Amino acid sequence: MARKIAFLVAPEGIEQQELIDPWQAVTDAGHEPVLLSTESGEVQMFKHLDKADTQQVDALVADAEPAEYDALVLPGGVANPDALRMDENAVEFVREFVGSGRPVAVICHAAWMLVEADVVSGRKLTSWPSLQTDVRNAGGEWVDEEVVIDENLITSRKPDDLPAFCDALLEAIGE
């Protein structure tokens, strides 16, 4: 059965591989990825610090209902989650989604969204290593592992972890 998967990003600063690889995995598995952002138009992806491709936004997070989606993916990149966590609609979307029990897959710096949404306390997760203090200060247990699954949270550290991250996401949505 095809699932509808939300990918939530800011207008720029998304680490391209962390959006494209899970998007392709979801598409190849026969599911429908939907790109949500805080602004309409195109989002700017990056390969580390260099501008890369753009991708068209499908819907605004302010208009999106978490209940319409079967899973949520939060790609990283430093600037992406840093900007996204300043948007109240995006933070509330993440908070509500995590609370729903449906899969939430978060990679690299995107764990900042979990901290901002106040859903880390008592949870075990991983992220880019520089976020470990933020995770611990928010009441979470940070570990250095390729992929960590804690109930409905799936977290990974970096682009090198994408194969395991995508496998865990597909398993969680029923592939």
Catalytic residues: 108
3-state secondary structure of 73: strand
Task: Return left, alpha or beta for 143; rule: phi > 0 is left, psi -120 to 50 is alpha, else beta.
Answer: beta
Measure Cα distances from 130 to 22, 108, 135 in Å: 23, 10, 10
3-state secondary structure of 146: coil
Residues 28, 5 contacting (CB under 8 angstroms)? no
H/E run at residue 74:
strand 71-74
Number of alpha carbons in the 13 Å side-chain half-sphere of residue 62? 6
